[in-house]
Amino acid sequence: MNFQNTLQFAQQLDTQDELSNYRNEFIFPQHNGKNVIYFTGNSLGLQPKSAKTYVDEVMSDWANLAVEGHFYSQKPWWDYHERFANPLSKIVGAKPSEVTVMNTLTVNLHLLMVSFYRPTQTRYKIICEEKAFPSDQYMFQSQVAFHGYKPEDAIVEIKRRDGEHNIRLEDILAKIEEVGSELALVLIGGVNYYTGQVFDIKTITQAGHKVGAKVGWDLAHAAGNIHLELHDWNIDFAAWCSYKYMNSGPGNASACFIHEKHHTNSELPRFAGWWGHNKERRFKMEQDFDPVQGADGWQVSNLPILSLAPYLASVEMFAEVGMEKLIQKRNKITAYLEFILQEIDKEISGSEFEIITPKNQEERACQLSVFFHGQGRSLFEYLMQNGVVTDWREPNVIRFAPVPLYCSFEDMYNFGQILKKGITR
């Protein structure tokens, strides 16, 4: 499509957008009486208007039924999490039995590593990407130390080549082959939080399995954002948070995937708790653990229903829209944002900034990370002061995430005009 940097053209794209009405299903912060231009859905998604209804329902049941709400509320609490299985499985390309909700992201990754990071004297190394999200880095360091290894020996980072912003697939595959029989686990972010690079999950998983390693994925920036086929790609496990593209609220519950090939493996260790115990016998308070057959068998504690309620509201919206339509709009609106950035760069002196997210649509999703040469944090602050909510990352990068459920093409045009003023002020 031949884009144009005009308000009329942007508004025309919005009239053609079959998802445009979903923007009205979210609550926007206000700036001078108008909706902000919201680019930080990759950190915290906007609140769906339906979220309050779902939470109020739980509060009402708690008030009126108290403990009986576990079994007699409209959505009984004791199996509340089971309502996520079908819609989540479609979002991530899994079987319903392979997904569950529980805890928070890093907690879940730690619990999953109990099962899938089983180092031996000769096979103990973990491969991750350079500049992984800090929480993942801390997790790796503490896990290998817990098993008696030194992080500098056990953690292998895939690095970017000099002068490049993104990691090459061939370098990941070469490193997996090089580490070979010493490799216990590959655990990478499906979408790099800093650059927005999307990794080839299928190919990397195949390479890890070829050398005998387990392969897991941190899908914090991928779930609800990119096309996933976790079952067919044969990954061992994954976890993701729900508060970014999934719009469930700050710090909210995580979800995870465990491939069905592991469900009946009684030799696979796990940290057990009563909510992972056989559902039909859970309230018999038996002494010996008998896990649920499926991802639910990795649950530990009973679920935080007040946290799950807004997540369910969002998940049901995803089920209504479908990932195919979201990805179609994601590609179009991200391309339009890229065009706007390039046009603004032409209109001013040029070379003011550099997009470090891959240009190839297959290697990016709903994020453009932009390195602003010479602008510094003052430009970020100008954007924030003028109703553009975005995200600053050291040393000089601003991340923009045009989330397809609630961002408009007119937002992209208006942002460009504000950006131009900010650079030339």
Check if the beta carbon of residue 259 is closer than 8 Å to that of residue 228: no
Q: What is the pTM for the complete model shown?
A: 0.95
- Structural domains for the chain: 7-48+322-424 (3.90.1150.10), 75-321 (3.40.640.10)
Distance between CA atoms of residues 258 and 273, nearest Å:
17
Tokens of 411: 């937002």
Check if the beta carbon of residue 47 is closer than 8 Å to that of residue 247: yes
Comparing CA positions, the residue from 359, 367, 356 lying closest to residue 166 is 356
Q: What's the Cα-to-Cα distance from 279 to each of 67, 282, 285, 396, rounded to whole Å? A: 18, 5, 11, 51
The helix (H) or strand (E) run that includes residue 258 is strand 254-258
**φ and ψ at 48, to 5 degrees?**
-65, 140
Distance between CA atoms of residues 129 and 188, nearest Å:
6
Distance between CA atoms of residues 270 and 4, nearest Å:
55
pLDDT in 10s for each residue of the chain, 425 residues:
899 999 999 999 999 999 999 999 999 999 999 999 999 999 999 999 999 999 999 999 999 999 999 999 999 999 999 999 999 999 999 999 999 999 999 999 999 999 999 999 999 999 999 888 889 999 999 999 999 999 999 999 999 999 999 999 999 999 999 999 999 999 999 999 999 999 999 999 999 999 999 999 999 999 999 999 999 999 999 999 999 999 999 999 999 999 999 999 988 999 999 899 988 888 888 889 989 999 999 999 999 999 999 999 999 999 999 999 999 999 999 999 999 999 998 888 766 789 999 999 999 999 999 998 777 789 999 999 999 999 999 888 999 999 999 999 999 999 999 999 998 87
Q: What's the Cα-to-Cα distance from 417 to each of 132, 142, 219, 323, rounded to whole Å? A: 33, 46, 33, 31
| DSSP per residue, 62-102 | HHHHGGGHHHHSSS-GGGGGGGGHHHHHHHHT--GGGEEEE
